[in-house]
Amino acid sequence: MKKSTLGILGFPWDGGATLGRPGSRFAPQAIREALQWFTNRIGDQKVYDVEKKRLVDLTKMELSDYDDIDIAAYSTEKTFQNAEDSVRELLNSGVFPLILGGDHSISYPMIKALHDQTEGKVGIIQLDAHLDLVDDSPVQGRFSQSSQMRRALELSRIEPENIVQIGVRGYNYPWYETYLKETGIVQITAAEVHQTKPNQVIERTLAACEGVEKIYLTFDIDVLDPAFAPGTGANEPGGLTPVQCLSILEGLYPHINAMDIAEVNPLYDHHGITSSLAARIVFDCYTALACRGN
């Protein structure tokens, strides 16, 4: 029996943490350790989903760890090329890539790899407190944790109307008002998520991605309220709850083709709370993909 594979790939990089707190390079290992809490429940290639009251058959879906991307600490360009090559290799092998960052700058080479392997349009779903649409700045440059979505928009088959930002909140630069009106990026703010149901967020998100060939999902852990995820690069009050995030993600897993988890920062975590949440997301994705098509 031929198995499908969810491939974990670590991206221990915080070279793009130009404003946020560095330390997310330690996240891949911390998330892997937390993931053992879930994987040790697997028996006879099955696991029991307590919340759904069902037995999940894992015989057709393998969870494999492909180690870490080669980091060239002296060069963002070299590191990002290594990352792009690694993800492209997984995609060519039919593996679903799940990348563990790393600050949020890591998303751009991942998105580019999926984009370049796709003939049609690519949609992006971004769960995040921040917009990450800064073009350039003397402090941050062009490839920081604040710019990966702006760089993605420069790719030829990614259109702003196929980008959905979920959970964004707080305050930002004045130029955003005009930029967002002109581009037409779809936003579902944290306040809007709080005022609606997860299934409505899912429906609106998938509607924006209608007609695309592939979808990339990027999950910045700071989309969660700091009360639930203290270990991250920047704290923004008013965020989502774990239940909201897990419910929204559950409805999106069947539709996506690659994803990352960014901005987990073990240096600012408390008793591994944030890493545990990230690990739960990894395992949820694994079981969801195992059930896809069944």
User: How do residues 170-197 score in pLDDT, each as one tens digit?
Assistant: 999 999 999 999 999 999 999 999 999 9
Q: How far apart are the first and last CA of the chain?
A: 15
Distance CA 279, CA 277 (A): 5
Ligand-binding site membership of 116 (annotated): no
- Residues ≥6 apart with Cβ < 8 Å to 104: 16, 128, 132, 145, 146, 148, 218, 220, 233, 262, 263
Which tokens sit at 265?
A: 């920062």
pLDDT above 60 (res 149) = yes
Superfamily (CATH) of domain 4-291 = Ureohydrolase domain (3.40.800.10)
pLDDT at 205: 98
Ligand-binding site membership of 104 (annotated): yes
Task: Decide if 124 contacts 163 (C-beta within 8 A).
Answer: yes
pLDDT above 80 (res 80) = yes
Confidence band, pLDDT 50/70/90 cuts, at residue 293 = low
Ligand-binding site membership of 255 (annotated): no
Ligand-binding site membership of 222 (annotated): yes
Ligand-binding site membership of 85 (annotated): no
Q: Number of C-alpha atoms within 13 angstroms, CB side, residue 239?
A: 24
3-state secondary structure of 77: helix
DSSP string, 161-188: GGEEEES--S---TTHHHHHHHH--EEE
Domain extents in the chain? 4-291
Predicted TM-score of the model (pTM): 0.96
Which tokens sit at 224?
A: 């969660």
